[in-house]
Amino acid sequence: MIPQENHKIINEYTNDELIYIVYNNRSLSNVINNFIPKYNVKELLTLKKIENDFQYARSLFINEKEMGLEITDIDITAKDIKVTPEDIKSRTQLILDAHENLSGDELQYLKDRGFTDEIIERGKFGSMSCITNQDDLDILGVSTHPIMNNMFDGGTKGGGIIIPLFDKDGELINASFRKLSDYNKLKYTHTCPDMFVWGVDDIEKGDIVWLVEGVFDKYVLETVLPEGSKVMATSSASISPIQYLQMILKRPSKINVICDNDQVGFRTGAIAQKIFHLSKIICSTFYFDGAKDVSEHFLQNNGEIFDLIKIDITRDFIEEKGTDFEDRIPLNFFDYLKNREF
C-alpha cells in the first residue's frame, strides 16, 4: 500500500470524480494514472473521435435534463486506496485458488441459476469467501471504498462470485465481484472498472463479434453459439470511451449487440450502435423477449439462440420502457445509489 501521506483526501476531488468513485469503487485519478494504456498519437486521435461520437450518441438517446445530484452521506476525510497493475498481477494465484475452492453457498448460487460445470470452468468463477486478507480485499476492489463507510457496510461478508479477467500470459488484470446479497452493499464491484473488455484480446480484424453487458452472459452465450464464435462483455451498463477504443481498434467487420431487456440496456445498445456505425463497423442490436438478459433466457427459460429479436432502437422506444436513475430529479445521492441497477 502507498503510504498514507500520498493518498488524496476525498474532499480534494471534483464532483464528477466523487460520483465515479461511488459507482466504481475506485478513484478516477487512480484509474487514469495507472490503468489506461499508453496509446500512440494515431490511437489517441481515434480516442478523441470516439469521445466526441460518444457525447453525440448520448445526446440522441438521453434526456438532457440536469440530474441534480446531491453528494451526501460520504466520509470526506476518507483516504483513497491506490492500486497499480502490479498489485493486481501479484494476486493471480489467489484468484486461481479461489476458483479451485469454489464450494458451499457460492457454488450453489451458480447451480441454482443453471450455470453448468462447463460455464464455471470456462469463466474460472471463484469463491469470494476465499479472500480474507484486508489488503487483498482492498486491492482487488471487493471491499467498499472508504468514502462509503457511512452508507454501506464493507461488502465483504456473505460471500460472492469472482469473475476474473486474465491477459494472454495468464496474469490477472481485472475482476468483477458479484455479492450473493446486495443488502446495504453494492451488488457488483470491480478491481478496475470501465477499462477492460472481457474477450477483446481474442478478436481479429474482420471477425463477426457478439457484445453483451454482463460477464456471466458472455460465458453462457459462448456455450450456445457455434464453436469459435467471438463474444465480448463490458461488465458495465454504460460502455466507456476507453472500452469502445479497444473494440474499435480490433476492426471487426460486424458487432451484434444483445441488449439487456430494460431501459438502460436498450439505451446502451442504441449508443453503441451509433458509435460503431460512426467508426464504420456494421452493428445490429438484439434482445430476448421475456428475459432480462442472456443468462436468464438460456439458463432459467431454456430459450434458444433463434429467439433473438432484432430491433432498431429509437429514443421513443427507450422512453416507453419506463424511467431510470437519470430521470429522477431532484435526487439525493444515497437514493440514487440504492435505486441504480448495478
In the chain, the domains with their CATH numbers are 4-339 (3.40.1360.10)
Q: At which residue does the C-alpha cell 464532483 appear?
A: 15
Q: What are phi and psi of 251, to 5 degrees?
A: 50, 55
Distance of CA 287 to the CA centre of its chain: 19
pLDDT computed for residue 72 by the predictor: 67
Query: What's the Cα-to-Cα distance from 282 to each of 248, 257, 278, 285, 308, rounded to whole Å?
Result: 11, 11, 9, 10, 18
Torsion of CA 294, 299, 301, 302, to 10 degrees: 110
Query: Count of alpha carbons within 13 Å of 284, Cβ hemisphere only?
Result: 12
Query: What pTM value is reported for the model?
Result: 0.87
Average the pLDDT over each of 98-112, 214-228, 312-326 and give the range with the smallest value. 312-326
Q: What is the mean pLDDT of the chain?
A: 86
Q: What's the pLDDT band for 232 if we cut at 50, 70, 90?
A: very high
